[in-house]
Amino acid sequence: MIENLYRAIEDRTEELVALTSDLIRFPTVNPPGEAYTPCAEFIARRLSAGGFQTLFMRGEGTPGDSDRYPRTNVVARKEGRGPGPTVHFNSHIDVVEAGEGWTMDPYAGLVRDGKVYGRGACDMKGGLAASIIAAEAYIAVNPGFSGAIEISGTVDEESGGYGGVAYLASKGLFSKPRVDHVIIPEPLNKDRICLGHRGVWWAEIETHGSIAHGAMPFLGDSAIRHMGAVLHAFEKELYPALDRKQTQMPVVPEGARRSTMNINSVHGGQTEDFFPGLPSPNVADSCRLVVDRRFLIEEDIAEVKGEIVAILEGLKKKRPRFDYAIRDLMEVLPTMTDRDAPVPEALAGAIRQVFGREPDYVISPGTYDQKHVARLGHLHDCVAYGPGILDLAHRPDEWVGIDDMVESAKVMAIGIGALLNGAARPAT
Ligand SMILES: [Zn+2]
């Protein structure tokens, strides 16, 4: 039986390559959200030819949505002959801009030396194509299957997923009883299962001062110097504390196996948009800092925020005239699916069959659409699994290996079978 499934996928290798190239030829660049509708329509045509029912859902009113750049999502569903669970493959169709450094047209879908090249080849049109071929091959070999298989192409993952998975999840498309198991074919390597991601908190910290003549700064109060004190305290107290917070989460790369914080930007003082004149010399009355704090499943978001507030409050006591404001910009809790939940278990079994080895379990340092499935869909049997090498994502001359796509399509197809037949343990 497995042999038939393998053959059905191998026989579709050319189709898989052509499908990947076709998907790359839609320049679904985000921002602004180019070519979403034709790409979604292409996916719908392809799947409805195979008996899937398709549904378009526009993320109306979500960030970036407009008549010029509609946030068009597609969800395709193939019902089996009998009742049973639903396995859903979700891929984002948006890509980041090509950027500099390409040695070829990033939207040509060029095939060379066993690789398909182009923006989105690995992140994640190769994964989308592999899941489509996996589903079609599974259905061809098992026409009498029970349950349902869904494939969605969603938008805006690269900008937070609000018009895509978040929108669909808020409409119940990622919840029971409609959907039971979700696989997101992000490029995490063909023999790894990504169980989830670290948490994120973005915040803006503003220090206040008072404006005065730059020649007599003692008459004012510099918000930038106050911010300097904040940065100094971060270096002395916060960063060492973050380094000490190691996690049990198997985050890759290993450097991210602890708490981290990036300072995204600092804005203070006079604007430099003064060309052709000069800025007037003033003491800065405001300075803003945007931080990107990535945290662990062992940490509580209140504790994450609390340690920064404690530093700011400490400065308020120590430093004359120090005053600040802090504003939340975004927060996403860490998520980690249990290794013995049905989806990771089914994929682990499939990886053993295809590669003859144990899978690696990993956690992504940054978030992806799994957050919305967990947060809004309340569905926790979800992982990322797909072909492609994560390090190639967003880079020039991005590619996906054809053999990798074929092998991961086999893993996906075996996984579908295990989940539909309940071979994996039921969710608890
Ligand atoms: Zn991606």
CA of 174 to the centre of ligand 1 (A): 18
Q: What are the tokens at 418?
A: 């295990």
DSSP 130-147: HHHHHHHHHHHH-TT-EE
Partners of residue 183 on adjacent β-strands: 89, 383
**What digits encode the pLDDT tens for the residues 198-226?**
999 999 999 999 999 999 999 999 999 99
Task: Output the pLDDT for position 279.
Answer: 76
pLDDT at 391: 86
- State the distance from the centre of ligand 1 to the C-alpha of 218, rounded, in angstroms: 51
If you measure from the C-alpha of residue 367 to the centroid of ligand 1, how many angstroms do you get, rounded to a whole number? 10
| Average pLDDT over every residue of 228-253 | 96
Residue 208 token pair: 């206040």
As a whole number of angstroms, the distance between CA 289 and CA 224 comes to: 10
Query: For residue range 81-120, what is the model confidence (pLDDT) as tens digits?
Result: 999 999 999 999 999 999 999 999 999 999 999 999 999 9
Whether 43 and 153 have beta carbons less than 8 Å apart is answered as yes
- Strand, coil or helix: what is 344? helix
pLDDT digits (tens, 9 = 90+) for 184-205: 999 999 999 999 999 999 999 9
Percent of the chain at pLDDT above 70? 98
Determine the distance separating the centroid of ligand 1 and the alpha carbon of 122, expressed in angstroms: 8
pLDDT tens track for 259-276: 999 999 999 988 777 667
Statement: residue 427 has pLDDT above 80: no
Collect all residues with Cβ–Cβ distance below 8 Å to 69 and sequence separation of at least 6: 32, 33, 34, 36
How far is the C-alpha of 310 from the C-alpha of 299, rounded, in Å?
16
Would you state the pLDDT for residue 428? 37
What is the pLDDT averaged over residues 126-130?
98
Report pLDDT digits (tens) over 21-60: 999 999 999 999 999 999 999 999 999 999 999 999 999 9
Question: Cα(3) to centroid of ligand 1, in Å?
Answer: 31
CA of residue 180 to ligand 1 center, whole Å: 22
177 pLDDT higher than 60:
yes
pLDDT in the model for residue 277: 73
Residue 424: pLDDT band with limits 50, 70, 90: low
92 alpha carbon – ligand 1 mean position (Å): 7
Q: What was the pLDDT predicted at 426?
A: 42
The SS3 assignment for 231 reads helix
Place of tokens 């946030």: 71
How close is the Cα of 396 to the center of ligand 1, in Å? 15
Integer Cα distance of 170 and 153 in angstroms:
16
Closest by CA position to 352, among listed 415, 259, 273, 280: 415
For position 422, what pLDDT does the model report?
84
- Check residue 411 and give its pLDDT: 98
Q: What is the pLDDT of residue 425?
A: 45
pTM of the model: 0.90
**pLDDT attached to residue 423:** 64
Taking the alpha carbons of 381, 387, 392, 398 in that order, is the dihedral positive or negative? negative
| Mean per-residue pLDDT of the chain | 95
| Mean pLDDT, residues 143-149 taken together | 97
How far is residue 170's CA from residue 187's CA, in Å, rounded to a whole number?
A: 25
Residue range 281-340, pLDDT digits in tens: 899 999 999 999 999 999 999 999 999 999 999 999 999 999 999 999 999 999 999 999
CA of 186 to the centre of ligand 1 (A): 5
Tell me the CA–centroid distance for residue 124 and ligand 1, in Å.
5
Q: How far is the CA of 269 from the centre of ligand 1 (A)?
A: 37
Per-residue pLDDT tens over the stretch 330-369: 999 999 999 999 999 999 999 999 999 999 999 999 999 9
Q: How far is the CA of 93 from the centre of ligand 1 (A)?
A: 9
Where do the domains of the chain lie, and which CATH numbers do they carry?
A: 2-197+334-420 (3.40.630.10), 199-332 (3.30.70.360)
